[in-house]
Amino acid sequence: MNPKLKEVAQVFFKLGCFAFGGPAAHIAMMEDEIIEKRKWMTRDYFLDLIGTTNLIPGPNSTEMTMHCGYERAGKPGLFVAGISFIFPATIITALLAFLYVKYGQLPKVEPFIYGIKPAVLAIIASAILKLGKKAIKSFELVVLGLLVLSASLLGVNEIIALLAAGILGMLYFYLKSKSNSSLNSVSPFLFFFGISTITAKVSTFKLFMIFLKVGAILYGSGYVLFAYLDAELVTRGLLTRAELIDAIAIGQFTPGPVLSTSTFIGYQLSGFTGALAATTGIFLPSFLFVLILNPFIPRMRNSKILRYFLDSVNVAAVAVMVAVLIAMTRETLVEWQSITIALIAVFLTFKTKISTIWIIVMGAIIGFLLMILTT
């Protein structure tokens, strides 16, 4: 096996086993593994990847693994990175689906998740500081970032905020530059799926098509995924809402992308082949989007006006991460136990060189012990 491909597989499989906390936490862990430790690319280019990934459908952190794999080992690296990151979550989720179908309940993992949540706050904060230093290149970008942060905290959709920031910044800096140089252009592309609604009895192919459709148009968090799957499955009588809620919960507390929910649902509806079909369907569009988009990113940097757009989107992406951190902090730090774990994680993150993965493990163990001792 190609040494670079082997390295890509090892890095993203390891991340896939420990990537708790949602996309912001996943990207923070990638920044530590890929930029700090291995220096596969510059932090500036990593920021470009984050900014552009936020503008396309699909799970952002999973698509970031694909971009990073592409940069390290070409097109094969894209597929190896994505599959390696997804694989642990799908295996764990499939096992949980089997237990759920057989015994009708989920295992008790809340004590471990309790400690992981405050631990990832420190990891996200560290990544924000590092990426923010690169993203903030002028006073105007600071103002733009604050506007996006305010909009995000007020509930404005993150895609709208990112696009608006990119366009506003691009126009402002272009007019400010008063450049007479010719501008390179990159032809935009649109990717539409016209998959008809399926109401008949579920088969493997139909499951694949349902989840392919969802994967091709999905933006946003697990709550958005819930809305899509509710419309596609619950309203058509393929799944009960209680079963869907359990499936979303599985995706939330297993490592890796929340879209591993698809594995759980696929198994419920059609066994092992259904799990495979649903998982393949929901992730396939992301592989295609990244495969098409990645070669355009360096060209965008070579275009003056698109460079302004990227700089503005990058600072907006960091602002969105700050908004996510604020929201997570409000939800998580509500008891002395979670505050204690967060403070320990802050010390380890900023004052030591301990890997983010070990900080996650530490949070899980301390969370488990504190919940056992205080209940």
pLDDT of residue 197: 34
Which one has a higher pLDDT value, 335 or 99?
335
Distance (Å, whole) CA 69 – CA 4: 9
The neighbour count for residue 218, using CB atoms within 10 Å, is: 21
On the question of pLDDT at 182 being above 60, the answer is no
pLDDT of residue 218: 79
On the question of pLDDT at 240 being above 90, the answer is no
pLDDT of residue 196: 33
CA distances from residue 60 to 101, 114, 286, 342 in whole angstroms, order as listed:
30, 24, 9, 25
Taking each helix axis from N to C end, the angle separating 139-153 and 158-177, rounded to the nearest 10 degrees, works out to: 160
pLDDT of residue 357: 79
Distance (Å, whole) CA 191 – CA 214: 13
Distance (Å, whole) CA 333 – CA 2: 45
Lowest mean pLDDT among 69-73, 174-178, 283-287, 301-305: 174-178
pLDDT level of residue 99 (50, 70, 90 thresholds): confident
pLDDT of residue 184: 43
Supply 15's token pair. 């991340």
In this structure, which long-range contacts are made by residues 147-153, counting pairs with CB atoms below 8 Å and at least 24 apart in sequence? 148/315, 148/316, 148/319, 148/320, 149/319, 149/320, 149/322, 149/323, 152/319, 152/320, 152/323, 153/323, 153/326, 153/327
Question: What is the SS3 assignment for 199?
Answer: coil
pLDDT of residue 41: 93
Q: φ and ψ at 190, to 5 degrees? A: -120, 145
On the question of pLDDT at 186 being above 60, the answer is no
On the question of pLDDT at 187 being above 50, the answer is no
- The string of pLDDT tens digits covering residues 108-128 is 666 767 788 888 888 888 888
pLDDT level of residue 104 (50, 70, 90 thresholds): low
**Exposed e or buried b per residue across 317-328, where buried means at least 16 C-beta atoms within 10 angstroms of its C-beta:** bbbbbbbbbeeb
Give whichever of 20-24, 99-103, 166-170 has the largest mean pLDDT. 166-170
- The string of pLDDT tens digits covering residues 55-91 is 888 888 899 999 999 999 999 999 999 999 999 989 9
CA distances from residue 192 to 57, 215, 354 in whole angstroms, order as listed:
11, 12, 44
Contact (CB, 8 A) for 97 and 275: yes
pLDDT of residue 191: 31
Contact (CB, 8 A) for 351 and 359: no
Which one has a higher pLDDT value, 304 or 198?
304
pLDDT of residue 114: 78
Supply 157's token pair. 């959709």
Supply 217's token pair. 């148009």
On the question of pLDDT at 340 being above 60, the answer is yes
∠ at Cα 323 (322, 324), nearest 5°? 90
Whose CA is closest to 275, among 101, 79, 93? 93
pLDDT of residue 72: 94
Give whichever of 50-64, 88-102, 332-346 has the largest mean pLDDT. 332-346
Whose CA is closest to 320, among 190, 227, 214, 221? 221
Mean per-residue pLDDT for 360-374?
85
- The string of pLDDT tens digits covering residues 4-14 is 999 999 999 99
- The string of pLDDT tens digits covering residues 244-300 is 877 877 776 788 888 888 999 999 898 899 999 999 999 999 999 999 988 888 888
| Max CA distance (Å), the chain | 69
**What DSSP character marks residue 348?**
H
